[in-house]
Structures are given as structure tokens and as C-alpha cells.
Amino acid sequence: MLSIRRLSKSFGGLHVLQDVNFEVPAGSIYGLIGPNGAGKTTVFNLVTGLLQPTGGNIDFQGESLLGLPSHRITHRGIARTFQNIRIFKEMDLLENVMVGLHDHLEYGTLGMLFNTAGYRLAEKRARERALELLTWVGLDGRADVLADSLSYGDQRKLEFARALATEPKLLLLDEPVAGMNPSEKTVLMEEIRNIRDRGYGVFMIEHDMRFVMGLCDRIAVLNFGRIIAEGTPDAIRNNPEVIEAYLGKEDD
Ligand SMILES: Nc1ncnc2c1ncn2[C@@H]1O[C@H](COP(=O)(O)OP(=O)(O)OP(=O)(O)O)[C@@H](O)[C@H]1O
């Protein structure tokens, strides 16, 4: 689904990524791990068009993403959440999700101004879809609650629903469980599995080893800008180079 070939990125003389290769298969949960500063966020920024690579290719569903601006990449079917949650705190949950959907509405400002039948139907559909997405992430029944009043874990779920509103095929999650308590993590794990089972691909950066190992189908390990291992959680867990580079330094 997402194919990364010989990818490199330098900032001046700093080689942040060098000859990075891996493939995120469709319908799977894929993890990208590695110590702080290894280059994980740079990979996400390259895939989502916030940065352009120094060399190499990024193909999504057989077509290159290189040179496309972020919004075109979103339209190709890649959505993203951020390490620092980005939601509209002064809006309710339904409005937060509908903002993501509005990009896909056929009826623009004129329809809204004149409140045409077409616009009303599109709004009704968007509303129903937003409510469905809130149910998917376990926030049903709270559509009219202000986002600001949500717990941290629920804010993450809302961000998740907002990303799904762009109708992606692949969802990029940047440290989805950062700051969550253990029970929130367990719930989110189940929800990410449900999303995968609905046919979405999930590609995540995560530092929480228990979460990554328990959830991902495959994992790539970055260390100083290079992939040092790729494989199933069991293979990664037992890889001596990975243990030395990363797992050995884990607090847990
Ligand atoms: N725009 C930039 N200009 C210069 N250097 C950058 C830029 N973005 C990232 N870097 C450097 O690239 C390296 C990799 O950063 P990156 O954020 O990709 O790492 P990471 O693996 O996501 O780390 P963390 O786990 O701490 O989030 C770091 O040394 C960082 O300082």
C-alpha cells in the first residue's frame, strides 16, 4: 500500500534519513519505532508532503507521492494525527468531525448561503457520517459536548475520528497513546484494531513498547536514520541489534 524506497533526507549536512526501505501492507497495522531523534517524525512529514526528500521514492497504491502538496496527499487517502493533539476545543464533537468531512462535500459556500435543498441533504449526510465516526471511536452519545471538556484519552479518540472524516485508506498515528493511562491505552488498542478490521491501513509511530508489540502486525526500527530491523513483533523483540539500540534502554 505504502512503499518507501531508498528514502533519504538531509538538513544541510545533517543526514536524518539514509537509504530507508520498507513497505506498509494494505489492511495491516504497521509500527515505526526507534530512539528519540532517530528520524521517525521526518518519515511522517515526508509521507504527508510537509517535507520533500533529498532522494528516494514514496509510492502510495502504486503512484508516487513526491512533489504533491499535503492536501493532495490527503485526497489520495492518507490522513494523520499529531503528537500534540489538534482539535477545535471551543467546538462540540460533532462540529469537530464535520470540519474534516466538509472538505469532501460537493456543496460549497453558495449552497450554504442560499441554504439549498442539495446543501441541506449534504449536511444531513455529513452529520450522519460524523455521528457514525464518533461511534466507531467510542464517543457516541457525546456529539454535543464541547471538545474542551474531554479527558486526554477522549481527545485522542476525537482526533482519530477527525482523521477518519477525510475518508483515508491509510491512517498515520503519531504517538497515539502518549500521555494516556493504562486503561485508556487498552481501549484505544481495541479501537485501532476495529479500524484495521474495517479495512483501513494503520501506520504508527509509538514509544510505548507494550502497545506497539501488542498491536502491530509488523514493525520497522529506525536508528540514526537507518532501518536496522523489520519484521513481526516477535522477530523485533528478539533482534540483538534492536535490543542494543532501543529496547535495552526502555524504562519498562
Ligand atoms: N526541519 C528540521 N531542520 C533541521 N533538523 C531537523 C528538522 N527536523 C528534524 N530535524 C532533526 O532530524 C533528526 C530526527 O528528528 P525526528 O523528529 O524525525 O526524530 P524522531 O525519531 O521523530 O524523534 P522523537 O522520537 O524524539 O520524536 C533530529 O536530529 C532532528 O533534530
**Distance separating alpha carbons of residues 65 and 52, to the nearest angstrom:** 10
252: confidence class by pLDDT, cuts 50, 70, 90: very low
> What phi-psi label fits residue 8: left (phi over 0), alpha (psi between -120 and 50 degrees) or beta?
beta
**Quick check: 178 and 83 in contact, CB under 8 A?**
yes
Site to probe by mutation for ligand 1, drawn from 15, 17, 41, 204 as the one with most ligand atoms within 8 Å of Cβ, is 41
**Distance separating alpha carbons of residues 225 and 96, to the nearest angstrom:** 36
Is residue 105's pLDDT more than 60?
no
Give the mean pLDDT of 143-147: 93
Is residue 184's pLDDT more than 80?
yes
Percent share of the chain, pLDDT over 70: 92
Fold of 1-77+168-252: Rossmann fold (3.40.50)
Centre of ligand 1 to C-alpha 42, Å, is 6
Residue whose Cα lies nearest atom 6 of ligand 1: it is: 11
- pLDDT, one tens digit per residue, over 77-96 is 999 988 777 888 889 999 99
Higher pLDDT, 100 or 114: 100
Mean pLDDT of the chain: 89
Centre of ligand 1 to C-alpha 173, Å, is 17
**Quick check: 93 and 165 in contact, CB under 8 A?**
no
Q: What is the pLDDT of residue 87?
A: 85
- pLDDT, one tens digit per residue, over 13-34 is 999 999 999 999 999 999 999 9
Query: What is this model's ipTM?
Result: 0.95
Beta carbons within 10 angstroms of residue 236's beta carbon: 25
Amino acid at 101: L
Query: Which candidate, 186, 133, 190, places its Cα nearest to that of 158?
Result: 133
Is residue 249's pLDDT more than 80?
no
CA distances in angstroms from 109 to 98, 179, 209, listed in the order given = 15, 39, 46
Domain coordinates in residue numbering, the chain? 1-77+168-252, 88-166
CA dihedral 137, 140, 146, 150 (to 10 degrees): -50
